[in-house]
Amino acid sequence: MIVIVDYGLGNLFSVQKAFEMLGAEVKVSGAAEDICAADRIVLPGVGAFGDGMDFLREKGLDSALTEEVMGKKKPFLGICLGLQFLAETGEEHGEHTGLGWIKGRIRKLDVEKQGLKIPHIGWNDLTMVRKSPLFAGINPDADFYFVHSYQLDCGDPADLVATATYGETITAAIQHGNIFATQFHPEKSQDNGLKLLENFIRWKP
């Protein structure tokens, strides 16, 4: 069973429907006991870093996630804000502490001086930095849908899987053992995104 973590931010319905299209058993929940019972865990989200982390901590979901993902090594997928939570710190509306699973910090996109708008919204192709089973069967020049104003400055180059370009190089996908996360939205990325989610369902890290 895949549990999609509900912490009050983001369109969880589209993520749920995408997995259900692929025939997966899915449960949307904000309860720690459901996270503990999950076979696979998905942490999506759109919104502010600090608000989201506050909610995870208030509900005890941060410790439940850390136990199941870092401790028991369950397959994990973070999407957009769900990727950003993995960092050590985030600078959105002040300094905030993240889950700290991935070395690095979350900072605002530095593109406005080039006349580019924030948030970055739209389709971008990726540059693959290294192979990952989550991109199996996906063309190297495939494009994915992004909506974000902040990005991960990856502290360990070994975690980086793919980048995109929007005025600067953007961390698009990371993997660290059983942890995989994307800055783009696979559930909004049509066939390429569905293939990535299908790969996650089958992934045995």
* 102-157 per-position pLDDT tens digit: 999 999 999 999 999 999 999 999 999 999 999 999 998 899 999 999 999 999 99
In the numeric block, which tokens belong to residue 15?
Answer: 């993520």
Please tell me the total count of domains within the chain: 1
Please determine, for residue 45, whether its predicted confidence score (pLDDT) is greater than 80: yes
* 67 in active site: no
3-state helix, strand, coil in the chain (%, to 5): 30, 30, 35
28, 43 Cβ separation under 8 angstroms = no
We report the CATH number of the domain holding residue 164 as 3.40.50.880
Q: In the chain, what percentage of residues exceed pLDDT 90?
A: 93
Please determine, for residue 60, whether its predicted confidence score (pLDDT) is greater than 80: yes
* 80 in active site: yes
Report phi then psi at 146, rounded to 5: -115, 145
Q: Which of 68, 80, 92, 96 is catalytic?
A: 80
In the numeric block, which tokens belong to residue 174?
Answer: 């990371």
Q: What is the model's pTM?
A: 0.97
Nearest to 83 by CA among 193, 199, 183, 192: 183
* 187 in active site: yes
Q: Which of 96, 120, 148, 185 is catalytic?
A: 185
Q: In the chain, what percentage of residues exceed pLDDT 70?
A: 100
Predicted confidence at residue 53, as pLDDT, reads: 94
Q: Which of 68, 92, 187, 198 is catalytic?
A: 187
Residue 145 is part of which domain span? Answer: 2-202
200, 180 Cβ separation under 8 angstroms = yes
